[in-house]
Amino acid sequence: MAQTQTSDLFIPQVVGQKIATDYGKFITVSKFATVDTTLVARPGDTITRNQYVFVGQASVLAEGVADTPAKLESAPITKKVVKVSKQIELTDEAILAGGDNPYGEAIEQIAMAIALKDDADAITEIKTTTQTATGTTLAKAIVAGMKVFGERGMKIPAIAFVNSADYYDMVADQANWIPASEIAAELVQLGVVGKYMGANIVPTDGVTANAPVMILKGALSKEMKRNFLAEKDRILNNGSTSYAELLAGSEHRVYWLNNVANAVKLTVGSF
């Protein structure tokens, strides 16, 4: 007598877990964003945040002399929450007759699609900074970016997102390349593959060659309106296709740069 077991079925909860797990595997830049869930379950779809300007270094105060209060200044920014989503519909025939596991491929591609969009939006937000630095070589451009950060770049990890082609050039420059084995484990777990001219390097083809972007760790924020949600639904009849499985992943969120002084855009070339 035939017996149907769980091994013969595709369990919806497992689909959701697999998409969410793959999503975490594919994100690169987004891993460095500070995630805030304050907006979850609250009404509204727009946030207003302040980008603060540093009040400057403290000064020596003589005895009996009153200090002059500094003015704390900020520039308010407004950001709208966006919904990011990707769906794939598979007919029963595609699932049953398709080779090389179309179900698993669909799950992986949904996760990859949302991860790539997340990274693209994160990079776009980093590029809103007005700070720029240039260099005739990749090494000189990175150094110029570190100079923009100044002493802060020595106290807070500086992260450089570079194109994969630039990454290979850095590795080839063995005199200045520090491998991941000599980097703090916390940064390596986030995706840092090495250190170059003082900056922690994260390769991503989300930026173009000779145009890296840099941030100080903690400069990028990601506010969630609804956390990443992976779903599976059974479609019995949608008018054009009967009997199909719908896989979907989505999230509601917004990125913002909390301190424009902690980000810089680099350009490599002849000037």
Name 166's Cβ contacts closer than 8 Å, sequence gap at least 6: 138, 203, 209, 210, 212, 268
Q: List domains and CATH numbers for the chain.
A: 10-52+71-125+220-256 (3.30.2400.10), 131-219+260-268 (3.30.2320)
SS3 of the chain: helix, strand, coil, percent, to 5: 35, 35, 30
| pLDDT at residue 136 in the model | 95
Residue-wise pLDDT for 205-217, tens only, equals 999 999 999 999 9
Q: Rounded to an integer, what distance in angstroms lies between the CA atom of residue 204 and that of residue 118?
A: 13
Which residue's entry shows tokens 């484990």?
Answer: 185
DSSP three-state, residue 175: coil
| Of the ranges 53-62, 144-153, 239-248, the best mean pLDDT one | 144-153
The tokens of 23 are what?
């999503």
Residue-wise pLDDT for 1-51, tens only, equals 455 555 555 555 566 677 777 888 889 999 999 998 887 877 778 877 776
Give the global pTM.
Answer: 0.81
Q: Is pLDDT at 73 greater than 90 in this prediction?
A: no
* Bridge partners of residue 245, in order along the sequence: 90, 234
Residue-wise pLDDT for 97-139, tens only, equals 777 788 888 888 999 999 999 999 999 999 999 999 999 999 9
Q: Rounded to an integer, what distance in angstroms lies between the CA atom of residue 166 and that of residue 116?
A: 19
Cβ atoms of residues 245 and 96 within 8 Å? no
The tokens of 169 are what?
């050039």
Question: What strand order describes the sheet that includes 263-268?
Answer: 132-135, 263-268, 213-216, 158-162, 199-203, 194-196, 177-179
Between residues 184 and 74, which one has the greater pLDDT?
184
